[in-house]
Structure 1
Amino acid sequence: MLGYEISHLANLLKDSYNQNDSDSEDEGPKTKSANLTPASFVSPQAKNTTEKAKAVVSSKKELVNTKDIWNIDEVPDRGNESIPTEKDDTRPQPEYDMHYKQNVTSEDIFLQMGNKNPSSASCEDLVVKIQLPDTELSEIVLDITKNLVDCRSKKYRLALPLPHPCDPDKCQAKWNKEQHTLQITVRLQREYDDFNF
């Protein structure tokens, strides 16, 4: 690529040197250096890169024209896991709340000796509270996979994709009989947890 640009520069300088040898600038034949533009110095590899960039821009324009918010290539593949849907399932989705939970010690709070901070990146768990009014514990079916919490009862159904992958073997669930609330504590398995904890 560099050699290609240097050879064009050498030709440009050679043509301008030949032009200066003539007696007057107005007289004499026009050389090919007058036809050179900055685009003349672009290597074939750079032209291919530019063409690829134009193709990406045109595909994004097509994306805008179809009113989609992403290409199918941009959707992450979750493997065989997907949100289970049943076409005839008319059960409503219950109200739920999600928040992060952090295990802290007195050294973290008072002495600030650990590397934990108040951000969610330092949280080990995700707590999901699901309101299931008029439901008994025996009616609840709970299935937790790496990327999904699936909670079903006679009256409700919740298929909740998780924001981060989790360890299904280290999850806990508690049923509050008075409030008819199912609290699920999910242990997160993020990519950089080894550095954050």
Structure 2
Amino acid sequence: MDCFGVSSFQNLQALSALLSTRQDDDDDGEETQRVSAYAQMGPGHIGPPPKTDKEVSSAYVKKNSKDIWSEEEVAEGSQYDDLADPRPQPEYDIILKQRVGTEDLFLGLSGKDPSSMCCESMLVKIKLPDTKATEVVLDVKEKFLDLRTPKYKLGLHLPHPIHSQEGKAQFFSEREELEVTLLLKRSMDFINIQ
């Protein structure tokens, strides 16, 4: 049974001749050359052609010939890394937090979910045994937390950027633990429902 009207090999050849771009039989050599040119192309031919050595991006041009790195290339907090410092790193936990009310819990009105995208703050709990609150030196940057005591040092690269000026720290002497609460800097705050 023939549903489409194509019943033989000749009909398929006739359809192929109608759809092909060949003008006549003399152009056979040109089409073969065009097909072989396409056959030589690979994944490296996708996109713009590669730059030559003379074309150098302005991002890689050094401003001072003696500089090895620019300030943008150096990770934040690397100036605090001291491999010769024998002080151990204290135990710490990072907990992401969000404000949830009854309308979120029971009715789901705000559209919040348990994902980290809906979290507003980060709590860093640092255990500092045999340490007093007056011995703690804390410096917080946008992506780095630096903690120094006479017995411990902690250079912590934070998993999310934070507002470095909007945070609080509290030392609990009975648990010998420092809790640092940091407000997350979310790039899509204008979309997130609060």
Please give the TM-score of this superposition, normalised by the length of structure 1.
Answer: 0.66
In 2: Cα distance, 1:47 partner to 1:38 partner: 18
Aligned with 2:22 (options 13, 16, 23): 13
In 2: Cα distance, 1:39 partner to 1:99 partner: 59
- Letter matched to residue 191 of structure 1: S
Deviations 1:30-50 (A, max 9, x none): x624743534358x9x98537
- Counterpart of 1:148? 144
- Counterpart of 2:46? 49
- CA distance 1:38–1:32, change in 2 (3 Å): closer
- Letter matched to residue 25 of structure 2: Y
4+ runs deviating over 4 angstroms:
50-53, 77-80
- Counterpart of 2:102? 106
Native 8 Å contact 2:138 2:145 kept in 1: yes
User: Is 1:189 the counterpart of 2:169 in the alignment?
Assistant: no
Per the alignment, in what secondary structure is the counterpart of residue 103 of structure 1? coil
Structure 1 stretches lacking a partner, 5+ long: 1-11, 20-30, 54-76
In 1: Cα distance, 2:88 partner to 2:126 partner: 13
- 1:196 Cα deviation (Å)? 1.8
- CA distance 1:138–1:122, change in 2 (3 Å): same
Per the alignment, in what secondary structure is the counterpart of residue 146 of structure 2? strand
**Residues matched between the structures, number:** 149
Native 8 Å contact 2:170 2:178 kept in 1: yes
- CA distance 1:194–1:92, change in 2 (3 Å): same
- 1:178 Cα deviation (Å)? 0.7
User: Is 1:125 the counterpart of 2:121 in the alignment?
Assistant: yes
- CA distance 1:172–1:78, change in 2 (3 Å): farther
- Counterpart of 1:36? 33
Structure 2 stretches lacking a partner, 5+ long: 1-20, 51-71
In 2: Cα distance, 1:156 partner to 1:191 partner: 33
- Counterpart of 1:69? none
In 1: Cα distance, 2:93 partner to 2:45 partner: 50
- 1:176 Cα deviation (Å)? 0.8
- Letter matched to residue 77 of structure 2: S
Deviates more, 1:186-195 or 1:176-185: 186-195
Native 8 Å contact 2:166 2:183 kept in 1: yes
In 1: Cα distance, 2:113 partner to 2:187 partner: 18
- Counterpart of 2:76? 81
In 1: Cα distance, 2:136 partner to 2:125 partner: 14
Higher helix share: 1
- Counterpart of 1:177? 173
- Letter matched to residue 136 of structure 1: K
* CA-based RMSD: 2.9
In 2: Cα distance, 1:39 partner to 1:192 partner: 49
Per the alignment, in what secondary structure is the counterpart of residue 129 of structure 2? coil
Native 8 Å contact 2:77 2:155 kept in 1: no
